[in-house]
Amino acid sequence: MLSLFSPNDYTLIAVILGLPLLGAFVNGVWGKRLGKDAVRLMALTAVGVSFVASAAAFIGLWQLTELHKGEHVKLAWTAWEWMHTTGGTQNASVPIEVRFSIDQLSGVMMLVVTGVGFLIHLYATSYMADDDGFARFFAYMNLFIFAMLVLILGDNLPLLFVGWEGVGLCSYLLIGFWYENAANAAAGKKAFIANRIGDFGLLCAMFLLVHYTGALDWNGIANGAASLVHPGEQWRVHVWPLGGGQYTGMLHFLQPKNPVTISAATAVGLALLLGCTGKSAQIPLYVWLPDAMAGPTPVSALIHAATMVTAGVYLICRMSFVFVLSPFTMMVIAIVGAATALLAATIALAQNDIKKVLAYSTISQLGFMFLGVGVGAFTAGFFHVFTHAFFKACLFLCAGSVIHAMHSRIHDGDKSQDIRNMGGLRKWMPLTHWTFAAATAAIIGLPFTSGFFSKDEILYRAFVDHTVNPRAGEGLLAKAGVYEPPAWLGPALYWVALAAATLTAFYMCRLYFVTFWGEFRGWTIGRPSLLAKQELAHDHEGEHEHHEDLATPGYPPHESPWQMTVPLILLAAFSVFAGWLNPGFHIPKQPMDHWLEPVFQAASEGAVLFAHGNDAKWAEAMTWPLALGGLSAFAVGTAVAYWMYVVRRGEPARRIAEAFPALYRLVLDKWRVDELYENTVVAAVDSLAETAAAVDKTIVDGILARLTSLVVAAAGTILRAFQNGVVHVYAAMMVLGLAAVGWFFAVPHPNATVADAGNDDYVITAAPGLGYAYRWDADGDGKFEKDAFGGDTTLKLHIEPGKSQNVRLEVKNSFGLVAGKTIHVERPKPPAEQSASL
Amino acid sequence: MTTLGLVYFYACAVAAVLGALGVVVSKNPIRGAMGLLLLILSVAGLFLALHAQFLAAIQLIVYAGAIVVLFLFVIMLLGPSAATPNDRRGLVPRVFGGGLFALAGIGGIGLVVRAWLAANHPLPMPSVDPSFGGIDAFGSVLFADALVPFEVSSALLMVAVVGAVAVARGRQGEHTMSKSELEIARSKTVSTELARPRGSERSGVFSHEIDEAKESAS
Amino acid sequence: MIPIEHYVILSAILFLLGGIGFLVRRNTLVTLMSIEVMLNAANLALVAFNRSRTWHPVVSGAPGQSHTGQVFAFFIIAAEAAEVAVGLAIVLSMYRLRRTVRSDEADLLKN
């Protein structure tokens, strides 16, 4: 593989990217005409071949890594040079190219995206088979794969941003896929707007980076990263007073004693974090993800479980070498992650919609990933991304399979997803059941499944790790104050994450037991023989009975076709066994860790220090106690769920809900965060918009538009009176003009120009005219130089500086009319002498 | 300044002024045409006094012999409707235009008179030899220096002929009214003209808006 | 000899009368005739100036004798004859359409 393309011009990347784009284009433009079979073929081929190419590229990368023995290698391909900007300390020109690169990190991600993407495409060909928008769906899905690949493979931040926006766009299009329903369209809008708020952060980070480090591609930023933590005052970002000015005059009271500054690394980190919270649905921008369940289930699986929402974590991993320069930011990331994990887990406890539970579960697991990268365990966090892709996609697809089965008789969208209408499905949907069970086992951390390894690693590292600036001890930086997270942070994070893990186990098992065990609550299942007779009797009725009487016996929920179950099986297998790629527990030679080591080298160089008197030995000793904690979380959660929902058939849950109705309502309403946003932020924007609308209507429309039109109309009415069509009136108007012109010619016009002839002399020249004769009075005393009117048109004057003189000119024309004008001539004083310079 | 010359001048001048007044004032256009004829004859006489014999002859031939005759033809063609009743409609712009013009003119005449009176030395009339203003002199200028205007004015005359025929011809199939229709039309136009209410007509873009506004306001 | 100013003033008076007639009268035929009066006045002024001033001759003619004014008046007569022809044609046309020779009846361009 390596021999086919050179590492710096790895054109296979063009194939990986180009095929989904082609698929999107073909399906989008000609999809309807081509028909469902062709669309299916195009979409599957596009993603499938892209996956094969990705695998080939990955093998090539592997070979290259072997060749270079553990360096951070890349397979790169430059498409074209996009633009230039200026940046850096010397305001040098920074080129931005459309350049894609596969390194260890993006290689893994690329395989996940194309592989899981392919499976989900296959699933969707069956799930969406009855939909009218089949071609449109696959066009959007392929476009999404393309955008996601651009995001992952982009070699610089602007290109990543292109992919970032692209996946946001596809998310919007796919969430609102059934756009005739206004709620779906609103959900799409919400997703896009929340993402947009985050994108602002990403843009600010880009601006800061190009200014401080003078580059926007990964290599360049890494090279210039030192300038992000420069202790010099002018290198820091001023927070208060904002921008580094001074509050004077009236605002003097706002001036702080010591200006508050943060390092550029912190500023960049926090800005990037804002972007990541938007894309990866963390606090405060997670509100769009539950609403996004309005889209079709394959969309939820692909975008909101496996790939798009992990883009934020990917970005943090990508820019790990920047984040570690700011321990404060790392702390914030970890806290945000842990808080989100716990919050989402609590909300998921009370939800009754199967997809909503999975959505909150996704948010919670993303919180875990953020926690992992926030404490410096980049590999652990990324590994959780990797495993999460498998088991979450599997869970969503199983949910889709269940919904598909429920849809056969329950046609209402909301009711078919309500777990209260399900139950005992394991009897009729064995494949779905076992795959769901496998994925659930992974997510709750059943020992030796993938989720167990990745989650436990995160919990462990949260407790023991301590991120400090790697260059803290060096030279100048020793003088600069570097933020050190408090000692209790690690354990605090651990306990919060543990609580979240327990809740995860609980609600996932709840979901599993309620859906697949117990009695079926959807409709009455009839005996097969009875049903066959019914079928014959009701043969003449139409196939689509929209008013189903669910009391009449019907067929049991059916298993899904092979296109849906094969991906389920594959994903379940991965979710169970993929964990062995990075088992943790200090087992040497962990594949994933080793593979990703070169990428996180800069981050791990001294970034993980055990401070406060702890050291590596202590960390190793803590391994088993912490693992026990994780195991107990799993055990407790599962046991309680089993007891509550299988043994006691949900009775305790109902009693708790009745005992604390307000609390239950609050949790069911997602802690009313959406309503909070609605009433504060959205209401503020709305009132601003309404003010603007009122101003527009009254001032702009009312006054400006109406007034000007009235003025014009009035002027028109006046002018129209002159146009009465009678020639005489027009002639009279002409006479008026003629008389004015005649007057102008009959009357003499005295005019003169004053020219400076130098040496304090002035020359005054009178304006010429037909038959004019001139008479000058040079000193304004009333006596003319020559009493007779003559032909001399110029007069010379000499005026001392600072003095002035009035000159009178009289003009007589051939008709004998005389007119005069007084001209005031002044010589200004020269500027005062310069005082001797000090 | 011979007496005969002065008398001749003043006679022609008075006749000219009377003729002009006749044109302007008379109600009957035939009378006006006669006034015009008197004017032309007096101006021809003045041309003779100014040593422009050829031009005087041309004046008589072309003006008196062709143009006035043309006027008379048209007046007689129109018949009684050539004379229009003088009512007071549109008096204001007419008086305004005429008055302003008169004022300006009288001002101009005043200026000329002032300049004339203020002139210290009257410029003498140069003496000319007998061939001045004769047909030979005229011809030598007309076909040498003024050749271009000559050719252009011949083209102009042709254009005028074509134009006059085109304008006066009328369209094919246009209905020319008979005498009785004429009477009816004439009486109708006069009565409708007198009866037409003034001041309530509005045309133009905003007239409907103004009407609307009036309606909504009332 | 009669001073030139007499002729100029006479020409001015005739022009004035013609102009007033043009502006005040509504009968189109009288208007046209007033235009004739004005043109005659102009011709008179031209010929008078030609006689009184010694213009430098352009090319031909005896030195000190130039006929520019008279030739100009000649062309004015020619052009003005054309104008009268077309003007009367217009008057006839208007009469045929509107049965009137009054100029304030022709107000289709009103407003």
Facing B100 at nearest CB: one of A717, A728, A736: A736
Facing C13 at nearest CB: one of B17, B32, B159: B17
Q: Chains contacting A with at least 3 CB pairs below 8 Å?
A: B, C
Task: Name the least confident of A450-464, B20-34, B76-90.
Answer: B76-90
With contact defined as beta carbons under 8 Å apart, do A760 and A797 qualify? no
A237-240 vs A92-102, strand pairing mode: unpaired
| Per-residue model confidence (pLDDT) at position A836 | 45
Which domain range does residue C72 map to? 4-99
| Per-residue model confidence (pLDDT) at position C58 | 47
* Integer Cα distance of A589 and A199 in angstroms: 38
pTM: 0.66
* Integer Cα distance of A329 and A324 in angstroms: 8
* Integer Cα distance of A130 and A89 in angstroms: 59
What share of chain A has pLDDT > 70, as a percent? 91
DSSP labels for C2-27? --HHHHHHHHHHHHHHHHHHHHH--B
Q: C36-51: string of b/e by CB count within 10 Å (b at 16+)?
A: bbbbbbbbbbbbbbbb
**A500 in any annotated domain:** yes
**C111 in any annotated domain:** no
Confidence of residue B169 (pLDDT cuts 50, 70, 90): confident
Q: Is there a contact between B105 and C15 if contact means CB atoms under 8 Å apart?
A: yes
* Integer Cα distance of B4 and B8 in angstroms: 6
- DSSP secondary structure code for residue A775 in this structure: E
A773-777 vs A761-766, strand pairing mode: unpaired
Q: Chains contacting B with at least 3 CB pairs below 8 Å?
A: A, C
Q: Chains contacting C with at least 3 CB pairs below 8 Å?
A: A, B
* Integer Cα distance of A123 and A395 in angstroms: 13
Say yes or no: A372 and A504 in one domain. Answer: yes
Element (H, E) at C39: helix C28-52
**C44 in any annotated domain:** yes
Task: Name the least confident of A541-550, A733-742, A820-829, C62-71.
Answer: A541-550
Q: What is the pLDDT of residues B130-155, one digit of tens each?
A: 777 788 888 888 888 889 999 999 99
pLDDT surpasses 90 at A149: yes
pLDDT surpasses 80 at A529: no
Chain A residues near residue C19 by CB distance under 8 angstroms: 735
Confidence of residue B124 (pLDDT cuts 50, 70, 90): low
The CATH number assigned to the domain holding B46 equals 1.20.120.1200
Rg (CA), chain A: 40
pLDDT surpasses 70 at A835: no
Q: Is there a contact between B115 and A815 if contact means CB atoms under 8 Å apart?
A: yes
With contact defined as beta carbons under 8 Å apart, do B44 and B16 qualify? no
**C89 in any annotated domain:** yes
Q: Is there a contact between C103 and A723 if contact means CB atoms under 8 Å apart?
A: no
Facing C34 at nearest CB: one of B1, B24, B153: B24
CA atoms within 13 A on the CB side of A522: 31
| Per-residue model confidence (pLDDT) at position A85 | 86
Q: Is there a contact between C107 and A723 if contact means CB atoms under 8 Å apart?
A: no
Of A531 and B191, more confident: A531
| Per-residue model confidence (pLDDT) at position A166 | 93
What's the structural domain count of chain A? 2
Facing A728 at nearest CB: one of C23, C108, C111: C23
The CATH number assigned to the domain holding C17 equals 1.10.287.3510
Q: Is there a contact between A728 and C109 if contact means CB atoms under 8 Å apart?
A: no
Given CB atoms, is B102 within the 8 Å cutoff of chain A? no
pLDDT surpasses 60 at A509: yes
What's the structural domain count of chain C? 1
Q: At what angle do helices A651-659 and A661-668 cross, to 10 degrees?
A: 110
**A605 in any annotated domain:** yes
What does the block give as tokens for A829? 């004083």
Q: Which residues contact A595 (CB under 8 A, 6 or more apart)?
A: A65, A104, A108
Say yes or no: A456 and A588 in one domain. Answer: yes
Given CB atoms, is A735 within the 8 Å cutoff of chain C? yes
With contact defined as beta carbons under 8 Å apart, do A370 and A334 qualify? yes
CB burial of residue A378 (10 Å; 0-12, 13-18, 19+)? buried
**B17 in any annotated domain:** yes
Chain C residues near residue A727 by CB distance under 8 angstroms: 103-104, 106
**C105 in any annotated domain:** no
Confidence of residue A838 (pLDDT cuts 50, 70, 90): very low
Chain A residues near residue C110 by CB distance under 8 angstroms: 723-725
Please give the backbone phi and psi of residue B172, each rounded to the nearest 5 degrees, phi first: -65, 135
Nearest residue in chain A measured CA to CA from B114: A815
Chain A residues near residue C23 by CB distance under 8 angstroms: 728, 731-732, 735
What does the block give as tokens for A335? 């806290």
Say yes or no: A758 and A648 in one domain. Answer: no
| Of A256-270, A316-330, A356-370, highest mean pLDDT | A356-370
Nearest residue in chain B measured CA to CA from A709: B206
Tokens 């327990």 found at: A502
With contact defined as beta carbons under 8 Å apart, do A543 and A407 qualify? no
Nearest residue in chain A measured CA to CA from C102: A726
**What would the mean pLDDT of C90-102 be, rounded to a whole number?**
84
Tokens 């480090």 found at: A213
Q: Is there a contact between C109 and A725 if contact means CB atoms under 8 Å apart?
A: yes
Which domain range does residue B26 map to? 1-81
* Integer Cα distance of A155 and A178 in angstroms: 35
Chain A nearest C-alpha distance from C106 (Å) = 7
Please give the backbone phi and psi of residue B92, each rounded to the nearest 5 degrees, phi first: -60, -55
With contact defined as beta carbons under 8 Å apart, do A443 and A348 qualify? no
**B21 in any annotated domain:** yes
Computed over every residue of chain A, the mean pLDDT equals: 83
Q: Is there a contact between B6 and C2 if contact means CB atoms under 8 Å apart?
A: yes
With contact defined as beta carbons under 8 Å apart, do A530 and A491 qualify? no
**What would the mean pLDDT of A627-647 be, rounded to a whole number?**
87
Given A629, A661, A693, which residue is the final one in a domain?
A: A661
Say yes or no: A758 and A637 in one domain. Answer: no
Q: Is there a contact between B90 and A728 if contact means CB atoms under 8 Å apart?
A: yes
* Integer Cα distance of A76 and A14 in angstroms: 10
**B143 in any annotated domain:** no
**B5 in any annotated domain:** yes
Q: ipTM strictly over 0.90?
A: no
**C20 in any annotated domain:** yes
Chain B nearest C-alpha distance from A783 (Å) = 23
| Per-residue model confidence (pLDDT) at position A462 | 82
Q: What is the pLDDT of residues A398-420, one digit of tens each?
A: 999 998 888 877 777 777 788 88
User: Apex CA B81: angle with CA B77 and CA B82, to 5°?
Assistant: 65
Mutation for testing the B interface, residue in C4, C8, C15, C25 having most B CBs under 10 Å: C25
Q: Is there a contact between B108 and A742 if contact means CB atoms under 8 Å apart?
A: yes
* Integer Cα distance of C3 and B9 in angstroms: 11
pLDDT surpasses 70 at C63: no
Chain C residues near residue B164 by CB distance under 8 angstroms: 85-86, 88-89
What's the structural domain count of chain B? 1
* Integer Cα distance of A41 and A33 in angstroms: 14
DSSP labels for A226-261? GGGG--SGGGSEEEETTTS----GGGGGG--SS-EE
Nearest residue in chain B measured CA to CA from A745: B108
Chain C nearest C-alpha distance from B171 (Å) = 10
Q: Which residues contact A730 (CB under 8 A, 6 or more apart)?
A: none
Q: Is there a contact between B138 and C71 if contact means CB atoms under 8 Å apart?
A: yes
pLDDT surpasses 80 at A602: no
Closest CA to A392 of A479, A454, A477: A454
Q: How far is CA B77 from CA B62, B134, B162, C86, C87, in A?
A: 21, 38, 21, 16, 15
Chain B nearest C-alpha distance from C93 (Å) = 5
CA atoms within 13 A on the CB side of C28: 27
Q: Which of residues 30-89 of B touch A (CB under 8 A)?
A: none
Chain B residues near residue A729 by CB distance under 8 angstroms: 90, 93, 97
The CATH number assigned to the domain holding A773 equals 2.60.40.10
Chain B nearest C-alpha distance from C109 (Å) = 11
Given CB atoms, is A3 within the 8 Å cutoff of chain C? no
Which domain range does residue A767 map to? 749-826
Say yes or no: A615 and A494 in one domain. Answer: yes
What does the block give as tokens for C11? 């020409």
Given CB atoms, is C22 within the 8 Å cutoff of chain A? yes
* Helices within B79-178 (DSSP H only): 91-118, 135-142, 147-169
**A69 in any annotated domain:** no
Confidence of residue A477 (pLDDT cuts 50, 70, 90): very low
Of A623 and A48, more confident: A48
| C-beta neighbour count of A165 within 10 angstroms | 18
What SS3 state is found at A729?
helix
Given A661, A678, A705, which residue is the final one in a domain?
A: A661
With contact defined as beta carbons under 8 Å apart, do A423 and A515 qualify? yes
